[in-house]
Structure 1
Amino acid sequence: MTLTSPSSSAPLATRPPRSSRLGGWRPGAAALPLTAMVVALLVACPLGFVALEAGQSGWDATRQLLGRPMVLTLLGHTAALTAVVTAASLVLGFGAAWLVERTDLPLRRTFTVLAAMPLAIPEFVHGYCWVSLMPSVQGLWGASLVMVSSLYPLVFLPVAAVLRRSDAGAAEVARSLGHGRLSVLWRVTLPQCRPALAGGALLVALYLLGEYGAFAMLRYTTFATAIFTEFETAFDMTSASVLALVLIALALLIVLLQAWVVRQRGRVVRERTSGRPAAPIPLGRTKPLALLAMTALVGTAVGVPVYALGYWLVKGSSTTLPSASIWSLTLTTLGYALGAAAVATAAAIPVALYAWRRETRLARAVEQTVYLTRALPGIAVALAVVFFAIRYAQPLYQQAPLLVAGYVALFFPLALTAVRSSLAQVPHAVEDVARSLGTRPLAVLARVTVPLILPGLGAAFAMVGLTASTELTATLLLRPTGTDTLATQFWTYTTGLAWGAAAPYAAVMTALSVPAVLLLTRRTLGDSRTHTTREAGR
């Protein structure tokens, strides 16, 4: 039996494929692709703006700037830190995920939540907590300690998700063939987790390239700190843009390297479809050691910041700086962050719909272009927005819309990821049926598609809003004159070494981020028995 459309007697089965059918060539058919492309271009334009500004100096001046010894020093510092922190995060993230997902470790659910909780504490707050308690935590090893304790959950969460969802049958077969625990771990479990490890390593490296606040506190110079100094101190936009181009090149190199690793090592992860979970591996005599290791990990990553915040909150403020209302700053912060969340979520809908409806090279290119902005550090995005305002929109310079635009450019990939994941759960036939009944495309979107992806829209709004509420680097450059947020006021106190006065602002930022981390943990590690993933190698 074939279905026919009310507007035509031709069977739907003989129509062109979905990629060319949805939207068709009716009036307004190009609206979705054009809207998606415009959004993608606006989000990705910081790359072009930074390149254009850097090119203003000419090749000779650029070569002279890049030939300075400072650039080589910055490159060495950045490369060394990235290598150390990424490697340590891979080891700790994988080890913690394996313990809580594949062994009989006590309090596994508690450790799962605690192991992810460092993500609720912004990196610059981590730096503040360590430096305020132990001023000797500086340099490469101090920065490595702080950043590993802050960023290892970016590896822990995806690896734990793979271990929870992957089929344990391969490991059971390997053990039945006489392989020991270490052999099974190396030959079976680790290969299953390679795509997740590569993705986690990418996120860790990109966070490191763009971080400014923590490294400024830890007195460790990187490209991000040098770029901020060039712009904020000397207002040298050209030098800052040239250094930003180097930073972007490093970020893109890391993205390409991760993609190559996934292509070489990636594989489809077959999730378990039966109700039988993987049998926990008994730790035996090593159980106390494993328990001690997990306690030390969460104690270092969560216990030290919580203790530092509690200590300075109890000790009270001591500063000659004027006091600021934490409640008014909280409202201001949430106003900017939620405004950016609303814009980013709304803008993500046409891009996600276009990539979902049309499986064409152009649609994939539009989506991947937007995801490439994840490689842009906050300082580079802020410089691009400042460049645009100074050259083309002078009245908007240091105004609220500019700060919101910076947040949208920075965190748009978060919104797109959530909306795209939600759309992946919607059957394609739903829109087909609605169209076959004569419903207009906009009505199908409003009455069918959007209600089905409301959970994804809510997740996108929450993640962008709560992430933007703790953003520091771009806020320092883009905030309106005379306006502060929780992050900037915290920074003002910490630069004056007023540790006690800064503590309430750090505590509020952390409290605002906890719901987002719990949501992320639930979405990442939630029950997955009812669906199958084939995107581990993407």
Structure 2
Amino acid sequence: MFIPLVYLFVRAGQAQPDQLLELVFRPRNLELLWNTLLLTAGVLMICSFLAFPLAWLVTRTTIAAKGWLTVLAVVPLAVPGYVMAYALLGIGGNLGVLSQLFGIRIANISGYWGAVWALSLYTFPYLFLNLRAALMGLDTSLEESAQSLGYSRWEVLLKVILPHLLPAILAGYLVVGLYVLGDFGAVALMRYEAFSYAIFTQYSGAFDRIYAAWLSIMLLALAGMFLLMEAYVLKRKRLASVGSGVGRAVSPKPLGAWQPLAWLYVAFVFMASIGMPVAMLGYWLFLAPPDISVFWQVPVTFMHSALAAMPAALLAVVLALPLCFLSVRYPSSVTRLLERSAYIGYALPPLTLGLAMVFFALQTAFFFYQTLGLLIIAWTIATLALAMGPIRSALLQMRPSTEEAAYALGYTPAATFWHVVFPRLRRAVLAALALVFLFCMKELPITFLLAPTGYSTLAVTVFSRTTEGLMAEAAPFAAAIVLFSGLSVGMVLNREAQKGAR
């Protein structure tokens, strides 16, 4: 976990003192910082516009088909940011869908607003899920008390509800913000010069690898500031009820005259986040299809992705099992340090992690450079924390008394783990495998930097062909990603529904 950090700073430390001052205080850095912050702010604003009203409708109103609306609000996670950017780029221009079908010529949707909408339409479900859970758990007696004191509905929203939603909002903002900082695909396709795009340009063009390292450190510092800001805002906040009694469930209110406007808003959200990319893919697949030979390449490219993703998923789970077991069953300062170190890779922006692994291979293990093994290890570092989530939760729910009983019957620690603990962790292990596998199948920045020459995955193929303007040739690969991701998201939602029913 510390290898990427160490080698990133080692590479950056190769700068001479006078060169260091020039690199750090270069005017372009300030421009990149402003562009990155502006992009993050724009995405958070659009995500709030998409997620908050939708979460309110499915939790606080009597709108019909709440279950289906909730499912549809999560489905956009199946359309990665670079695929969303691909769909937006296919709308405008002389060869775009509007021009070809209706003779309407509009400028290409690119630059700042193209990147903002591509990232927002993909990431708003993260904020929606946090807000939905918080709204469902909020004690409605607090609102009723405020109304009895003469507060208007807007005052209740601003002074009672929003402060209690602050942890959920910040948690969603943190996930979305870190994703935006580390995104490379949508930003590069939209030609918007944020930190991630500048890092890739410096590295791929071999202009200045030391400058690329310092840009990565600046991006890492920016991500760290997001974490510190969230911790500072939530410091000493106490939002739990301190009175006696039990919180009451939400009583949904009818929409009344607002119902047509609510359904219009819902239609806009789902047409933009699901309908638009599906329509674009349908156009390039059926109305302007590529050569049939392109379709035959999809299974091979899918296998390339899967053959790298599966070992990474297995390795992440194998490493997560002892880490989780030690931290839960044998808590100490050492095990806490081990557990927290696992989050380094997940917190690192993917492009920064990939670049650090490049430096590591070039300076220490050159034989490892441009190999599938290096890509698998980098994916494992990036996803270890993701694999630990389900496993750690399952261990916390298990009673230690069952293991103590096995010890009393003469079982060794290894036999106890294999015969008593592991069978109860099978579902959690499968969930961890699925999460990491799905992440790796869609992952772009690390793959683009570390994949062996000529080893094309689905994500890299979509990005490369879209960059070259080959929209039709990219469509089958983009459709494969959306289909596979959609099935995976559907399986997760179905499992959650079954758990809720039980």
Shared fold (TM-score greater than 0.5)? yes
Distance 1:322 1:461, change over 3 A: closer
Deviations 1:491-537 (A, max 9, x none): 2221221101100100001111113323554677876699xxxxxxx
Deviation of 1:324 after TM superposition, in Å, equals 6.2
The residue aligned with 1:95 is 53
Indicate whether 1:104 and 2:62 are aligned.
Answer: yes
Stretch moving more, 141-150 or 427-436: 427-436
Equivalent in the alignment of 1:379: 351
The alpha-carbon distance between structure 1 residues 313 and 431, as it changes in their structure 2 partners (threshold 3 A), is: same
Name which of 131, 148, 166 aligns with 2:89.
131
TM-superposed deviation, 1:297 = 1.0
Matched, 1:212 2:170: no
2:300 is the alignment partner of 1:328: yes
Q: 1:276, CA displacement in angstroms? A: 8.2
**Partner Cα distance (2:408, 2:265) in 1:** 59
CA contact (8 A) 2:295 2:476 kept: no
Does 2:424 correspond to 1:452?
yes
Equivalent residue number for residue 388 of structure 1: 360
Distance 2:220 2:119 in 1: 20
Flag the 1:216–1:454 CA change in 2: closer, same or farther, 3 A.
Answer: same
Within 5 Å, which residues of 2 pair with 1:350-389? 350-389=322-361
Work out whether 1:279 is the aligned partner of 2:251. yes
State the Cα distance separating 1:277 from its structure 2 match.
Answer: 5.0
Residue in structure 2 matched with residue 508 of structure 1 by the alignment: 480
Pairing of 1:159-308 with structure 2 (within 5 A): 159-175=131-147, 179-234=151-206, 236-265=208-237, 267-268=239-240, 277-308=249-280
Could you tell me how far apart the structure 1 residues matched to 2:7 and 2:38 are?
29
Structure 1 residue corresponding to 2:72, chosen from 114, 118, 122: 114
1:412 equivalenced with 2:370 (yes/no)? no
Change (3 A) 1:423 1:184: farther
User: Equivalent of 1:315, from 270, 287, 298?
Assistant: 287
Aligned-pair CA distance for 1:354: 1.8
Whether 1:443 and 2:415 are equivalent positions in the alignment is: yes
Cα distance, 1:177–1:528 mapped onto 2, change above 3 Å = farther
Q: Distance in 1 between matches of 2:364 and 2:273?
A: 44
Task: Give me the whole-angstrom Cα distance separating, in 1, the residues matched to 2:400 and 2:238.
Answer: 27
Structure 1 unaligned regions, length at least 5? 1-42, 531-538
Counterpart CA distance in 2 for 1:103 and 1:231 is: 51
Q: CA shift at 1:139, angstroms?
A: 2.0
For 1:521 and 1:109, locate their aligned partners in 2 and report how far apart those are by CA, in whole Å. 11
1:419–1:453 contact (8 Å) kept in structure 2: yes
Paired residue for 1:498, among 466, 470, 473? 470
Please, what is the CA RMSD of the aligned residues?
2.7
CA distance in 1: counterparts of 2:255 and 2:499, whole angstroms: 25
* Per-residue deviation, 1:58: 3.4
The farther-off stretch of 319-328 and 402-411 is 319-328
Between the aligned partners of 1:177 and 1:446, the Cα distance in structure 2 is: 59
Q: In structure 2, give the amino acid aligned to 1:160.
A: R
Give the length in aligned residue pairs.
486
State which of 134, 145, 160 in structure 1 corresponds to 2:117: 145
Identify the residue that residue 97 of structure 2 maps to in structure 1. none
Q: State the match for 2:22 in structure 1.
A: 64
**Cα distance between partner residues in 2 of 1:254 and 1:524:** 30
Aligned to 1:422: 394
**In structure 2, what is the Cα distance between the partners aligned to 1:321 and 1:239?**
41
Alpha-carbon spacing, 1:169–1:423, altered in 2? closer, same or farther (3 Å):
farther
Work out whether residues 403 and 475 of structure 1, in 8 Å CA contact, stay in contact via their aligned partners in 2: yes
Q: CA deviation at 1:177?
A: 5.5
Q: Is the 8 A contact 1:332 1:485 kept in 2?
A: yes
Q: Deviations over 1:158-212 (max 9, x none)?
A: 2212333444444455456555543443344333322121111011111111111
Encode CA deviations 1:103-150: one digit per residue, 9 max, x unaligned: 111221111111111110111000010011125312222221222111
8 A Cα contact 1:161 1:525, kept in partner: no
Confirm or deny: 8 A CA contact 1:275 1:529 kept in the other structure: no
> 1:142 & 1:255 partners in 2: Cα distance?
27
Report SS of the residue matched to 1:325.
helix
Evaluate the alpha carbon distance shift between residue 103 and residue 353 of structure 1 in structure 2; reply closer, same or farther with a 3 A threshold: same
SS in 2 for 1:134: coil
Deviation at 1:438, TM superposition (A): 3.1
Q: CA shift at 1:433, angstroms?
A: 2.9
Deviation readout 1:372-428 (Å, 9 max, x if unpaired)? 432211111111211221222222211111111111112222111222222222223
Moved more, 413-422 or 360-369: 360-369
After TM superposition, the structure 1 = structure 2 runs for residues 335-350 of structure 1, keeping only pairs within 5 Å, are 335-350=307-322
Q: Is the 8 A contact 2:91 2:109 kept in 1?
A: no
How far did 1:157 drift? 1.0
Given that 1:90 and 1:201 are in contact with CA atoms closer than 8 Å, whether structure 2 keeps it comes out as: no
Please say which of residues 172-181 and 152-161 is displaced more in the overlay: 172-181
CA–CA separation in structure 2 for the residues paired with 1:489 and 1:205: 26
Taking a change above 3 Å as real, the CA distance of residues 526 and 359 of structure 1, as seen in their structure-2 partners, is farther
1:58 maps to amino acid: Q
Alignment of 1:18-57 (within 5 A): 43-57=1-15
- Judged with a 3 Å threshold, the aligned counterparts in structure 2 of structure 1 residues 427 and 181 are, in CA distance, closer, same or farther, namely farther
CA distance in 2, matches of 1:435, 1:182: 60
TM-score by length of 1: 0.84
Q: In structure 2, what residue type is equivalent to 1:108?
A: K
Please say if 1:488 is aligned against 2:460: yes
Query: In 2, are the aligned partners of 1:489 and 1:505 still within 8 Å (CA)?
Result: yes
Q: 8 Å contact 1:317–1:498 — kept in the other structure?
A: no
The percentage of aligned residue pairs carrying the same residue is 35
User: Is residue 78–residue 222 contact of structure 1 (8 Å, CA) maintained in 2?
Assistant: yes
Match of 2:403 in 1: 431
> Which stretch shows the higher mean deviation, 74-83 or 137-146?
137-146
